[in-house]
Amino acid sequence: MIDWFTWVQIGVAVIAGLVCLGLGFAGRVPSDVSIGALAVVEALLLVQAVIAIAAPAFGNVPTGSVLEFVVYLVGALLLPPAAGFWALLERNRWSTVVLGVAALAVAVMVYRMMQIWTVQQA
């Protein structure tokens, strides 16, 4: 994982989550803004997956459990499409809140992925 990219990704996911939560609590149904925010989060996750695959070849190897990292990565990759699918099926204010919660969950998962990648083993 690349440190600066991970922090940008976390920041974007938090901003997207807060925007979606704000829109949902204001009574807005899913729109281009809320779905688009989650699409940006998903795009950054796909870039992170490519980085995670390529990084070991360039000497940036994970020091934690690779299996745990992969499980977090796959889970994070599945969360935005699942939330978006739900939001498109059930178009009400609470599905916009679900989009926000999904984006915030991705931020937490990416932070944990960074911890797993960079943990120092004794």
pLDDT tens sequence across 18-53: 999 999 999 999 999 999 999 999 999 999 999 999
Specify if 22 maps to a domain.
yes
Q: What's the CA gap between 65 and 73, in Å, rounded?
A: 12
**Domain count of the fold of the chain:** 1
Three-state DSSP state, 54: helix
Give Cα 37 distance to the centre of its chain: 11
Q: Using an 8 Å Cβ cutoff, are 33 and 23 in contact? A: yes
Residue that is written with structure tokens 């390529």 in the block:
54
Identify the pLDDT of residue 120: 66
Low-confidence ranges of the chain (pLDDT < 50): 122
Q: What's the CA dihedral at 47, 105, 33, 36 to 10 degrees?
A: 30
Q: Does residue 48 lie within any of the structural domains?
A: yes
Give the domain extent around 16.
3-117
Instruction: Give the per-residue pLDDT at 28.
Output: 92
Please indicate, yes or no, if residue 41 is contained in any of the structural domains: yes
